[in-house]
């Protein structure tokens, strides 16, 4: 079976990984809002799922130690085929933490729409940029909160030696 990413130019294959990462971090309300605001909603055929299962999470101590199995987490995945007047049979995939089937389905639809040159800009402007902005704002807020608890230690010299 041929991998769908082989149909994309090499530059876009790396971009699709970034898109998949953003879609995995999307909230259901962002995905639902994007889908409901589409002028033309293409036909969507569910190929697999959405289905929920467990995956093993691995970690490292200190970032450089040997990997170890940390535990299992719940993941939902979906695969859909999107067909419209401008694109025929694009397949989208998604994986998301948790059990939200609708989120996984909508993320897979967004992945498929991103692959079509005609709708890529719309997906990036109306969905992906908003997700990235929300994540950046959250990261900035966490940095501010961490900076507020920073303690600077210094040593005073007791006398001359």
51-100 per-position pLDDT tens digit: 999 999 998 887 778 889 989 999 999 999 988 766 678 899 999 999 99
43-64 per-position pLDDT tens digit: 888 898 899 999 999 988 877 7
pLDDT at 1 over 80: no
Write down the mean pLDDT value for the chain. 84
pLDDT at 5: 47
CB neighbours of residue 5 within 10 Å: 13
Q: Which of 11, 16, 2 is nearest to 120 (CA)?
A: 16
* Residue range 13-30: mean pLDDT, rounded: 88
pLDDT at 40: 80
pLDDT band at residue 2 under the 50/70/90 scheme: very low
In the chain, the N- to C-terminal Cα span, in Å, equals: 77
Distance CA 121, CA 54 (A): 34
């Amino acid at each position: 079976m041929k991998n769908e990413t082989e149909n994309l130019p090499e530059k876009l294959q790396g971009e699709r990984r970034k898109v998949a990462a953003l879609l995995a971090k999307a909230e259901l309300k962002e995905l639902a809002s994007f889908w409901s605001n589409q002028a033309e909603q293409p036909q969507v055929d569910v190929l697999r799922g959405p289905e929920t299962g467990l995956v093993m999470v691995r970690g490292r101590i200190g970032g450089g130690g040997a990997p170890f199995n940390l535990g299992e987490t719940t993941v939902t995945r979906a695969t859909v085929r999107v067909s419209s007047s401008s694109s025929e049979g694009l397949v989208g995939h998604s994986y998301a933490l948790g059990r939200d089937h609708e989120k996984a389905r909508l993320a897979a639809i967004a992945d498929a729409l991103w692959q079509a040159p005609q709708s890529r800009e719309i997906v990036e402007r109306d969905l992906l940029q908003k997700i990235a902005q929300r994540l950046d704002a959250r990261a900035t807020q966490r940095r501010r909160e961490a900076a507020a608890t920073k303690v600077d230690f210094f040593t005073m010299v007791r006398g001359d030696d």
